[in-house]
Amino acid sequence: MMENVEFVSLVVPPKERLGGRAWWFAIQDDKLLVHQDLAATTVPLLSDFGELALPILRQHYLGLLGGCHCFTVEIPKGLNPPTGMRFEGLRQVYGQMNETFFAVAGRALQIVDWDRTHQFCGRCGSRTRTHPTERAKECPQCGLLHFPRLAPAIIVLIQRGREVLLARSRRFETPMYSTLAGFVEPGETLEEAVIREVKEESGITVKEIRYFGSQPWPFPHSLMVGFTANYASGEITLSDGENVDVRWFTADNLPRLPGKLSIARKLIDWFVQKQTESSSSK
């Protein structure tokens, strides 16, 4: 499997494809059409999606993945996958698929969802049309452009000396702990969102907020913006009902953690690595 493929985002489909094959990211509900039998999870590579004899509701060009064209299509609900393929939830695909492919699959899911939910103008109610050169739905009546929705969320690792603050969310299906996270509100800076979310979810105040990195999170359209911060003051309280437990852990006594590719895990791994380095340098 190609490990370091580059993805170039494009909107305008190629005039002619010269018979070359393209990657097809086919979405049904929130699931992706993948090959059943291969060792690594992959999407169909076909000259034309019509080869699969599946009807489609919509189609968008995504760009080039390792020099190969990529399209996303939506398959109507209730249709069975072709022989040797299955519709797999994106959360299940996560970790089984090449990271760049997964990112394109997440992009495909969000574009299909955006197209499906922006068929009519939110201002005047007219039927929209897909903009020819931009990733936008355009209202022919009032001219309003509807871009794919992105919801920025902060995620933050909080340290207190050799300890890290982790929470067990009510939403987690498995009893695991993760870093605190929450959506940014209109009018708020990312740093203000960090301070507010941490206060709401744990009762503590943080300082020295530093940018760590970001990750698109297509469930359904978040952009996770990661930070580290240090404990400033306060005691843990569970006031907003989002978490069933929030507590301090040390690197040698961590609970069950989120999966390897998540930014939450990257933050925690960074913390553990730093602890290991500081104890080995003593």
- Please report, as ranges, the residues that interact with Zn ion according to CB under 5 A: 121, 123-124, 126, 139, 141-142, 144
Q: How many CB atoms lie within 10 A of CB 48?
A: 12
The β-bridge relationship of strands 145-146 and 205-217 is unpaired
Shortest reach from residue 145's CB to Zn ion, in Å: 10
> 7 or 120, CB closer to Zn ion?
120
If the CB atoms of residues 85 and 121 are measured against Zn ion, the closer one turns out to be 121
Please identify, using beta-carbon distances, which residue of 128 and 202 lies nearer to Zn ion: 128
Least separation in angstroms between residue 127's CB and Zn ion is 9
Give me the least distance between CB of 122 and Zn ion, in Å please.
8
CB 134 → Zn ion: shortest distance, Å?
Answer: 16
**Closer residue to Zn ion (CB): 141 or 278:** 141
Which residue from 274, 269, 106, 267 is spatially nearest to 194, judged by alpha carbons? 267
Helix, strand, coil abundance in the chain, percent, nearest 5 = 20, 35, 45
Q: How far is the CB of 115 from Zn ion (least distance, A)?
A: 16
Query: Coil, helix or strand for 191?
Result: helix
Kindly report the backbone phi and psi dihedral angles of residue 183, in degrees, each rounded to the nearest multiple of 5, phi listed first: -75, 145
Residue with tokens 């049904």: 28
Least Cβ distance, residue 142 to Zn ion (angstroms): 3
Instruction: Pick between residue 121 and residue 224 the one whose CB is nearest to Zn ion.
Output: 121
**Which CB sits closer to Zn ion, 119 or 126?**
126
Q: Which is nearer to Zn ion, 126 or 239 (CB)?
A: 126
- How far is the C-alpha of 114 from the C-alpha of 108, rounded, in Å? 10
Of the CA atoms within 13 Å of residue 57, those in its CB half-sphere come to: 17
**Per-residue H/E/C for 73-133:** EECCCCCCCCCCEEEEEHHHHCCCCCHHHHHHHHHHHHHHHHHHHCCECCCCCCECEECCC
Min CB(135)–Zn ion separation in Å = 18
Instruction: Tell me if 263 sits within 8 A of 214, measured CB to CB.
Output: yes
Distance, CA of 267 to chain centre: 16
